Each structure stands twice: as structure tokens, then as C-alpha cells.
């Protein structure tokens, strides 16, 4: 299937600026070196006249190009690399383990390399990452009524004071409050359009946003105000379900999400988001349509604002809202992402850049 590319001048600007919003939209191939890259590759940029663009890795390979060793354009951005897999598998099978450098070495990995990768991709060391996971498990247990002592020791903390310090450092709130609040897990999810940050309580998803969206810090603050649970890095069942559904969505096999959503916000925003959820896969609507649907045809501007404040991209399909003249209008994650999603849903884009 032929996948449309943005205009050449726009792609040149995006790749010169290492613009991650074009992740998944195009790949850059350099005629003089025979190598192809993702738009955000950190390697020195070639002269634009030596560059051509492709919409899929397969296309670039078919034209005789090799994938860049620095930006790994054959892998989704931010995905755990193959060399790290033994460690990630071990962490999945025993999430309560307290990791030492020796354990990492015994898996055939260099602790320093692991540390660098985690710092770069998760903003923390592997030890901090695995400790956060244990802490999240303990907070979940406390919310279900388990005592602080039991929760701490069941999740691999050796002392209560160490447990309390970890909670206060990671969540920024005193242990007692954290226990009442439960955990709000924050986890990076890899998608063909670049990494997204997902947030979920034990019950529902409350955040899904592209990492490079300038609005992300505001969104994080907003969910902290609305949801009142303690944000910690880590994953849970809800996020696992979200990951599976998102991956099926990008494969073109899932048309409606089943994962529960936590839309707690102002009454007006909730109302708009609920109406948005009724704009089904493969269709579009305008702000005018939405304002009529909430019984307030004059509220077009306020509806547009509530649409822009959506903190669960793709799940609450604000990308399906277009101008009444059919133009794409705006999109917080970048217009190319919007076009990608609409084309995917309308069946005019082959699913996946990596096929």
C-alpha cells in the first residue's frame, strides 16, 4: 500500500531539527553513505541534496539502504534493545528481586552499560527502576488494606524506615498519605509514532500522551490534582492491557479500546470527552457537531478547548475532530500524527512503519 509522505521541504526541516514528532512518519536515507535513519537520529546531518525519504523501513531496504547503527530505525523508538532482553525477562519473572551489580553480570551484561541505557531511556538507573516497581506493588497492597509492615517486607524492603524513605522520595508525600492514596503508575509505551507516557491507577488509565508534547507537564500536574494518587514509575495490569490494545490498534486489528478510562475532571470536560468517545473509528466530526451533541451549540470554543485538554490521546479520539470544511485543524501531538491516525483508521495507510 502506498503511504503518503509530507512535502519534501517539511521533511528536510524536520530531520535537520531532529523533530521527534515525525517519528513513524518518514525515514531519511543518505545517498552518499547508503544508510537510513529515523528523523530524530543524533548523527551529524548530511546535506539535504544527498537525502531521500521513505515511508517504511522495507522501502528503504528495498532501495539498497542499511539501517543506521546509532538510531536503529528498524526498532520502534525507545524499545528495549535485544541485548537488554535477558534482564527485562528476569525482572518480569521476579519483580520482587533486589538487584545487585553481580546479578546483572551473571546475566552476561555490563552494569555500566545497563545504567547508561536506563538513565537515557527512563531517566533513572536500573536499580531505581526495579525499586520503583517494588514500591508500586507495596503501595497497591497497602491500598487493599495490607499493613505497612507486611507490604514493605512482602515487596523486598529490608526495613520499615527504608521503605518510608523510598516512598517519600519517589512520591513526594509522607508515607501515611501515600498509603491512603494508592499508586498512580507512569510508564513509557513504545508506539510507531514515538514513545508515549501512560498513567494508570489500579482501576483505570488516566493518561496517555506523546512524550514530546509540550503540554505533558501541565497534564501531569492536572492528573495529580484530579486523581490524587501518588505518581511512581512502573507498570501494572491496566498498563499491560493498554500496551496490548495499542499495539493491536497500530496493527489495524483493534477498532475500539476496552481498557477502562478514568476521566475525572471538570464537569464540562467530562461531558465533552464522553461525546468524543462516541465518534467511532473511521469517522470524523467537527467542534460544531460536538457542541450540538452536548446540547449547547454556542459552546464551540469551549468544546475546542476541552478537546485540546484531552489527556488520553488516541483512547479519547480527539484526533477524529476536524474542521467543518474537512481541514485537519490542530492536534496537540502534531498534525502528522493526526493524519497518520486518521489514515490508519480509514484504511488508506498500511499499518506499521516496520512492515
The set of catalytic residues is: 37, 318
Coil/strand/helix, residue 62: helix
> Looking at beta carbons only, is 71 or 205 nearer to Zn ion?
71
Least CB distance to Zn ion at residue 55 (A): 17
Q: Which stretch binds Zn ion (CB under 5 A): 6-14, 36-44, 249-257, 322-330?
A: 36-44
Least CB distance to Zn ion at residue 66 (A): 11
Is 30 an interacting residue with respect to Zn ion (CB under 5 A)?
no
Least CB distance to Zn ion at residue 37 (A): 3
How many of the other CB atoms lie within 10 Å of CB of 161?
10
Contact characters 166-195, Zn ion, x per CB under 5 A: ------------------------------
> Looking at beta carbons only, is 42 or 161 nearer to Zn ion?
42
> Looking at beta carbons only, is 21 or 38 nearer to Zn ion?
38
Which one of 11, 30, 37, 272 is in contact with Zn ion (CB under 5 A)? 37
Contact characters 50-89, Zn ion, x per CB under 5 A: ------------------x-xx------------------
> Looking at beta carbons only, is 70 or 105 nearer to Zn ion?
70
Contact characters 280-309, Zn ion, x per CB under 5 A: ------------------------------
Q: Is 320 left (phi over 0), alpha (psi -120 to 50) or beta?
A: alpha
Number of residues that bind Zn ion (CB under 5 A): 6
Which one of 11, 25, 27, 41 is in contact with Zn ion (CB under 5 A)? 41
Question: What are phi and psi for residue 198, nearest 5 degrees?
Answer: -105, 145
> Looking at beta carbons only, is 17 or 282 nearer to Zn ion?
17
Bridge partner residues of 232 (DSSP): 185
3-state secondary structure 80-140: CCHHHHHHHHHHHHCCCCCCCHHHHHHCCCCHHHHHHHHHHHHCCCHHHHHHHHHHHHHHH
Q: What's the rounded Cα separation, in Å, for the pair 220 and 161?
A: 28
Least CB distance to Zn ion at residue 335 (A): 24
Q: Which three cell numbers stand for residue 257?
A: 479500546
Please give the torsion angle defined by the CA atoms of residues 234, 239, 245 and 249, in that order, rounded to the nearest 10 degrees: -60
Least CB distance to Zn ion at residue 42 (A): 7
Q: What's the rounded Cα separation, in Å, for the pair 35 and 272?
A: 46
Nearest partner of 212 among 81, 23, 48, 32, judged by Cα: 23
> Looking at beta carbons only, is 15 or 129 nearer to Zn ion?
15
Q: What's the rounded Cα separation, in Å, for the pair 1 and 185?
A: 38
Least CB distance to Zn ion at residue 68 (A): 3
> Taking the CA atoms of the chain, what radius of gyration do you get in angstroms?
22
Nearest partner of 113 among 87, 134, 131, judged by Cα: 87
Q: Which stretch binds Zn ion (CB under 5 A): 41-49, 88-96, 284-292, 302-310?
A: 41-49
> Looking at beta carbons only, is 39 or 234 nearer to Zn ion?
39
Least CB distance to Zn ion at residue 30 (A): 9
Q: Are 180 and 149 in contact, with CB atoms under 8 Å apart?
A: no
Footprint of Zn ion on this chain (CB under 5 A)? 37, 41, 43, 68, 70-71
Amino acid at each position: 500500500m502506498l503511504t503518503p509522505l509530507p512535502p519534501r521541504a517539511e521533511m528536510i526541516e524536520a530531520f535537520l531539527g531532529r523533530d521527534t514528532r515525525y517519528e513513524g512518519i518518514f525515514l531519511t536515507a543518505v545517498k552518499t553513505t547508503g544508510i537510513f535513519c529515523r528523523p530524530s537520529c543524533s548523527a551529524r546531518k548530511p546535506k539535504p541534496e544527498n537525502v531521500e525519504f521513505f515511508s517504511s523501513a522495507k522501502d528503504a531496504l528495498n532501495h539498497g539502504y542499511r539501517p543506521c547503527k546509532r538510531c536503529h530505525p528498524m526498532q520502534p523508538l525507545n524499545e528495549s534493545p535485544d541485548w537488554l532482553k535477558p534482564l527485562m525477562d528476569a525482572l518480569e519473572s521476579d519483580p520482587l528481586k533486589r538487584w545487585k551489580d553481580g546479578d546483572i553480570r551473571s546475566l552476561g551484561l555490563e552494569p555500566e552499560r545497563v545504567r547508561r541505557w536506563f538513565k537515557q531511556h527512563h531517566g533513572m538507573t536500573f536499580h531505581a527502576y526495579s525499586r520503583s516497581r517494588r514500591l508500586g506493588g507495596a503501595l497497591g497492597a497497602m491500598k487493599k488494606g495490607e499493613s505497612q509492615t507486611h507490604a514493605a517486607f512482602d515487596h523486598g524492603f529490608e526495613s520499615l524506615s527504608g521503605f518510608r524513605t523510598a516512598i517519600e522520595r519517589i512520591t513526594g508525600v509522607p508515607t501515611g498519605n501515600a498509603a491512603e492514596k494508592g499508586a498512580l503508575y507512569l510508564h513509557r509505551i513504545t508506539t510507531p509514532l514515538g514513545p508515549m507516557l501512560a498513567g494508570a491507577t489500579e482501576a483505570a488509565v488516566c493518561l496517555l500522551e506523546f512524550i514530546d508534547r509540550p503540554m505533558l507537564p501541565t497534564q501531569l500536574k492536572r492528573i495529580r490534582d484530579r486523581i490524587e494518587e501518588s505518581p511512581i514509575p512502573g507498570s501494572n495490569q491496566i498498563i499491560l492491557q493498554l500496551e496490548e490494545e495499542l499495539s493491536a490498534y497500530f496493527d489495524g486489528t483493534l477498532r475500539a479500546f476496552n481498557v477502562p478510562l478514568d476521566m475525572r475532571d471538570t464537569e464540562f470536560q467530562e461531558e465533552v470527552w464522553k461525546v468524543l468517545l462516541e465518534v467511532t473509528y473511521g469517522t470524523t466530526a467537527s467542534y460544531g457537531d460536538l457542541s450540538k451533541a452536548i446540547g449547547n451549540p454556542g459552546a464551540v470554543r469551549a468544546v475546542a478547548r476541552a478537546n485540546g485538554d484531552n489527556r488520553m490521546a488516541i483512547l479519547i479520539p480527539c484526533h477524529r475532530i476536524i474542521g467543518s470544511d474537512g481541514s485537519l485543524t490542530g492536534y496537540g501531538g502534531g498534525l502528522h500524527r493526526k493524519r497518520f491516525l486518521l489514515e490508519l483508521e480509514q484504511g488508506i495507510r498500511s499499518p506499521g512503519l516496520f512492515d
